[in-house]
Amino acid sequence: MADIVLSEVSKAFGAVRVLDNVSMHIRSGEFIVFLGPSGCGKSTLLRMIAGLETVNGGTIHIGDRRVDNLPPNQRGVAMVFQNYALYPHMSVRQNMSFGLENIGTDKGEIARRVDEAARMLEIGALLDRRPAQLSGGQRQRVAIGRAIVREPEAFLLDEPLSNLDAGLRVRTRVELAQLHKRIGTTMIFVTHDQTEAMTLADRIVVMNNRKIEQIGTPMDVYSRPASRFVAGFVGSPAMNFLPVQDIREEGGKLVVRAGGADIATDIDSGALAGRDALTLGIRPDGLKVVAGDGLPGTIELVEHLGDRTLVHVRLEEGELVIAEDIGKSTLVPGLPVSLMAARGETHIFDAQGAGYHSS
């Protein structure tokens, strides 16, 4: 295993810029997730680490070796693709051993590695089958097994769960997390699914518009988003945003006027001195239905989810927000309500989208 370091990596396809000066340090053994919308450059970045795309600028190091000028088979990484890429005419065993045979690995060593990977992935009974005889989840395990037998310094996984149905995605996600815990090898996983990112990652790299918006643990990214984009992209339902009409200081903390009410925050007032065009952000789980004063509005929709209830409220000033109520909520559409924002769950974003949070 080895650290992976990217320094000011850039990529363009003709006149189209795909990545601009991307830098990061991935520690040995980490599970890193590249998260972002389609077209943000996350898969291209993964393919550049793998050597499947050239680097137009910057450098990539794996351990003490610079690898951006090396072919894929000399980089010490193994790729797992979205479409599995299995050979249909070969058995599972042959698919898993093919790469090792091509580089002249001893047959006994190949058999040992294939059997060990099959045991780890619980596909030993499938070794003599062909891909057409397997389910989608089984094919995905074979694709992962083919990578494992190479004993790489890092696994690169490009949206490997996107072809699976919802239930199988959940089970395979758990299996992947358990696999990483067992083998401890660096994994870089690309997805646009925030649930996959939040549940799998040691750290998430949130990408947008050719650059990195934030790198942090799942809860850092969720609780202290670096930008309005991160705040809106991470979290389901998305964060509520309200334009700030006025601000004042109270005990060193910021009080904002938004949505027709004064909202107290735990954000230091000095952090926003001289900034204008501010936006207040509150996640639905930080906005509760209360009896008494608060943000006034009328319920438009109620979503009962069992353990909690999401309440869509049209505020008196016209904005639509989502708040949270108890699982056995008796609220109904058309009912006037008041909403209270938890002080520690408030965020402020400036005109450039930078985020400010409770101290």
Taking the C-alpha atoms of residue 118 and residue 124, their distance in angstroms, rounded to an integer, is 5
Secondary structure letter of residue 125 according to DSSP:
G
Contact 117, 149 (CB under 8 A): yes
pLDDT at 73: 86
**pLDDT, tens only, 262-280:** 999 999 888 777 777 899 9
Contact 213, 227 (CB under 8 A): yes
Close Cβ partners of 57 (under 8 Å, ≥ 6 residues apart): 8, 9, 10, 11, 21
Confidence of residue 150 (pLDDT cuts 50, 70, 90): confident
Share of the chain above pLDDT 70, in %: 100
- Tell me the average pLDDT across 163-169: 77
CB atoms closer than 10 angstroms to residue 117 = 24
Share of the chain above pLDDT 90, in %: 60
Contact 330, 349 (CB under 8 A): no
User: What is the rounded average pLDDT for all residues in the chain?
Assistant: 91
Residues paired with 212 in a beta bridge: 207
CATH 3.40.50.300, the chain: domain bounds? 4-225
- Tell me the average pLDDT across 24-52: 95
Contact 212, 221 (CB under 8 A): no
Whose tokens are 């000028």? That residue is: 69
**pLDDT, tens only, 61-119:** 999 999 999 999 899 998 888 777 889 999 999 999 998 888 888 999 999 999 988 88
pLDDT at 270: 81
pLDDT at 1: 66
Contact 60, 66 (CB under 8 A): yes
Taking the C-alpha atoms of residue 352 and residue 228, their distance in angstroms, rounded to an integer, is 9
Secondary structure letter of residue 237 according to DSSP:
S
Is the confidence at residue 141, as pLDDT, over 90? Answer: no
pLDDT at 127: 93
pLDDT at 240: 96
Contact 198, 216 (CB under 8 A): no
Q: How many CA atoms lie within 13 A of 128 on its CB side?
A: 1
pLDDT at 164: 74
pLDDT at 121: 82
pLDDT at 280: 95
- Tell me the average pLDDT across 25-50: 94
H helices present in the chain, as ranges: 42-50, 92-102, 107-121, 136-148, 166-183, 194-200, 218-223, 228-233
CATH 2.40.50.140, the chain: domain bounds? 240-357
Close Cβ partners of 318 (under 8 Å, ≥ 6 residues apart): none
The angle that helices 136-148 and 166-183 make with each other, rounded to 10 degrees, is 20
pLDDT at 176: 84
pLDDT at 138: 86
pLDDT at 47: 95
**Six-digit token pair at 9?**
């990596």
- Tell me the average pLDDT across 188-198: 92
Q: How many CA atoms lie within 13 A of 173 on its CB side?
A: 23
Is the confidence at residue 163, as pLDDT, over 80? Answer: no
- Tell me the average pLDDT across 170-189: 87
Q: Report the CATH number of the 4-225 domain.
A: 3.40.50.300
Say which CATH superfamily domain 240-357 falls into: Nucleic acid-binding proteins (2.40.50.140)
Least confident of 23-32, 156-165, 237-246: 156-165
Taking the C-alpha atoms of residue 94 and residue 42, their distance in angstroms, rounded to an integer, is 31
